[in-house]
Amino acid sequence: MNSSDAPHRRQFVRAALATAASYGRILGANDRVRIGAIGTGGRGQYLLSQLKLAEQNDIVACCDVYEPRRLEAKSKYATGDALLYLDYREILDRKDIDAVVIGTPDHWHVPITIASVRAGKDVYCEKPVTHSIEEGAGLIAAVRDSKRVVQIGLQQRSWEHFAQARQEILAGRLGQVTMIRTYWFQNHIPSMGRVPSFDMSKLDWKRFLGSASDRPFDPDQFGNWRWYWDFGGGAMTDLFVHWVDVAHWIMGADTPTRATATGLKAVLVQRQTPDTMSAALAYPGNVVVEFDSALLGYIEGGGLMIRGTKAAMRLWRGGFAVYAELGRYSENPEPSNAILEVKSKQDGTLPHMKNFLDCVRTRATPNASVEIGVSAARAGHVANIAMRGSGVWMA
């Protein structure tokens, strides 16, 4: 090497080291992943509980706008020397943190995810990853540019029996699939009689609002934000997104061409999003994906009924069953002619979190990439647009 090349080589090495530093620590197979938790409410803490089961990681920082939640998260799941934060940007400034887990309300997902990947952090973000269709393209661009690992909380993608069910369908077990009916029924009536109680001296309400319009504190909007448009998208994005992602995975198509939807507030009139709704999305390949939901009773729970020309499959988090076509018409709501039954007792969140941690170490693409998350969220958004507008959305 010519002596005159030495300064240039030193500059190149310094630049390379700076770039590597901006992408966080380089982890080996046995290294513990150091994680910061952003949003430590009910779902956020459940994610932390799964991280604890996944092992080989340490929760070293907890951030939430409500002090009791971040204190609880630290006491249950974090290391003894974990630091607590009100401002998530202080976590992103730490060079010793490899990844963040985002369990905030939906309207914070995109800004925090973009800020995190730009700070060199890998990200596990709950679904729906976007709060509007318009956020999707910018989010994907930011993640691709950063080369960070981003896993979206669509855990069916890492749930063994969902993958097995998909393989059965791809192998032709059902024939040509033309309709996928999805449904989710919950009972929110008991909660309407209870007003959540929060210590306002320990809550930063303005920080919670973020990009949402200013308003006086409302305990139900804070405690049950999913059912208010500024913070969530109701059942279409909280529940349907899980099932429509499974449908996308099965169909190999993730862009609806048309959506129709209707919804109403039948009982839970204090909240903004409907408690009773129905939607139908058309996809290329002549498949219709339906969603029915009522938050007024638990009977039937949630799942998918996938109908083909040869057989049908009922698929839910507890397993799946394949039913051969009947020889004659029947109105029995519970077919007894299952030709294949598979049961599952595990929660797919744990293998989904393990997949994320593995990808943090190997730099592989996770099972539910940002592109997958944006597509699933988009289906929920177009259903909401149809429901809140004329009843029809067209691509």
What is the percent of the chain with per-residue pLDDT over 90, rounded to a whole number? 88
Which contacts of 46-49 are long-range, i.e. CB under 8 A and separated by 24 or more positions?
46/349, 47/101, 47/103, 47/124, 47/126, 47/153, 47/349, 47/353, 48/73, 48/76, 48/77, 48/78, 48/101, 49/76, 49/77
Are 30 and 59 in contact, with CB atoms under 8 Å apart? Answer: no
Asked if the model's pLDDT at residue 115 lies above 50, the reply is yes
Rounded CA separation 365/368 (Å):
8
Are 308 and 168 in contact, with CB atoms under 8 Å apart? Answer: no
Tokens describing residue 192:
């309407």
Asked if the model's pLDDT at residue 43 lies above 60, the reply is yes
- The alpha carbon torsion through 184, 189, 277, 162 (nearest 10 deg) reads -10
In degrees and rounded to multiples of 5, residue 177 shows phi and psi of: -85, 125
Q: Quick one: average pLDDT of 124-148? A: 98
Pick the CATH number of 27-155 from 3.40.1710.10, 1.10.8.80, 3.40.50.300, 3.40.50.720: 3.40.50.720
Are 279 and 240 in contact, with CB atoms under 8 Å apart? Answer: yes
| Fold (topology level) of 157-346+371-394 | Dihydrodipicolinate Reductase; domain 2 (3.30.360)
Query: Given CA atoms 327, 328, 329, 331 in this order, what sign does their dihedral have?
Result: negative
What is the percent of the chain with per-residue pLDDT over 70, rounded to a whole number? 93
pLDDT of amino acid 5: 44
This prediction has a pTM of 0.92
pLDDT of amino acid 19: 41
Q: Quick one: average pLDDT of 48-65? A: 97
Tokens describing residue 73:
């998260």
Q: List, for residues 239-253, the tens digit of each pLDDT value.
A: 999 999 999 999 999
pLDDT of amino acid 27: 80
3-state helix, strand, coil in the chain (%, to 5): 40, 25, 35
Q: Quick one: average pLDDT of 155-166? A: 98
Of the pLDDT bands very low, low, confident and very high (cuts 50, 70, 90), residue 333 is: confident
Q: Which residues contact 135 (CB under 8 A, 6 or more apart)?
A: 110
Distances (CA, A) of 146 to 22, 27, 293: 10, 17, 38
- Give me the residue spans of the domains in the chain: 27-155, 157-346+371-394
Rounded CA separation 237/219 (Å):
22
pLDDT of amino acid 372: 98
pLDDT of amino acid 196: 82
Asked if the model's pLDDT at residue 60 lies above 60, the reply is yes
pLDDT of amino acid 24: 57
pLDDT of amino acid 335: 82
Q: List, for residues 116-126, the tens digit of each pLDDT value.
A: 999 999 999 99
Rounded CA separation 30/361 (Å):
9
Q: Quick one: average pLDDT of 189-207? A: 91
pLDDT of amino acid 26: 76
